[in-house]
């Protein structure tokens, strides 16, 4: 996605320009999105990564750490401290799987389940902040998922 430098007076190769980089557009957009979420999640006393874990558990309760990690593209070393903080906040419990003691199962507490009602407003507020129609955001989301898949497949 690097645009060619049209300045032909120099034989030096074109210098990469920050504003021409897809990676920077994605990175800076991610920062802006995280800033919006940080403000909205303050009321829930959650960080953005904690919110992602809670969303996964609201969709399906009682998942292993590895299941949550696969869903969020995170490893257990990243998830474990985050899950411990959610447990200390009384939102989840961690226990060893009865069928495989190597596995840790994460389950929502009553407080964690109840939080989903309050958290439901977050998505509407993000949609409002983005100033895009739901259809526009849906197209963009599918494009980003396609790009993620292609990049993951190129490993």
What span, in angstroms and rounded, lies between the C-alpha atoms of 48 and 28?
Answer: 16
Predicted local distance difference test score (pLDDT) of residue 4: 52
Predicted local distance difference test score (pLDDT) of residue 99: 85
Predicted local distance difference test score (pLDDT) of residue 3: 53
Predicted local distance difference test score (pLDDT) of residue 98: 82
Q: What's this model's pTM, rounded to 2 decimal places?
A: 0.84
Q: pLDDT digit of tens for each residue in the chain (155 aa)?
A: 555 555 555 677 888 899 999 999 999 999 999 999 999 999 999 999 999 999 999 999 999 999 999 999 999 899 999 999 999 999 999 999 888 888 999 999 999 999 999 999 998 999 999 999 999 999 999 999 999 999 989 87
- Where residue 107 falls (left for φ over 0; alpha for ψ -120 to 50; beta otherwise) is beta
| Terminal Cα-to-Cα distance of the chain (whole angstroms) | 19
Domains of the chain: 27-119 (1.10.10.10)
CA-based radius of gyration for the chain: 20
Q: What string of H, E and C letters represents the secondary structure of the chain?
A: CCCCCCCCCCCCCCCCCHHHCHHHHHHHHHHHHHHHHHHHHHHHCCCHHHHHHHHHHHHCCCEEHHHHHHHHCCCHHHHHHHHHHHHHCCCEEEEECCCCCCCEEEEECHHHHHHHHHHHHHHHHHHHHHCCCHHHHHHHHHHHHHHHHHHHHCC
What span, in angstroms and rounded, lies between the C-alpha atoms of 83 and 141?
Answer: 27
């Amino acid at each position: 996605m690097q645009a060619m430098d049209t300045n032909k007076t120099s034989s030096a190769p074109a210098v990469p320009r920050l504003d021409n980089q897809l990676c920077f557009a994605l990175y800076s957009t991610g920062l802006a999105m995280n800033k919006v979420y940080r403000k909205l999640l303050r009321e829930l006393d959650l960080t953005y990564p904690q919110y992602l874990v809670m969303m996964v558990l609201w969709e399906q309760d009682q998942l292993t750490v590895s299941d949550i990690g696969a869903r969020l593209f995170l490893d257990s070393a990243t998830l474990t401290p985050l899950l411990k903080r959610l447990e200390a906040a009384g939102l989840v419990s961690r226990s060893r799987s009865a069928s495989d003691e190597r596995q840790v199962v994460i389950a929502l507490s009553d407080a964690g389940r109840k939080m989903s009602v309050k958290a439901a407003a977050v998505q509407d507020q993000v949609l409002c902040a983005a100033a895009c129609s739901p259809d526009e955001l849906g197209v963009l989301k599918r494009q980003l998922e396609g790009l993620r898949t292609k990049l993951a497949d190129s490993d």
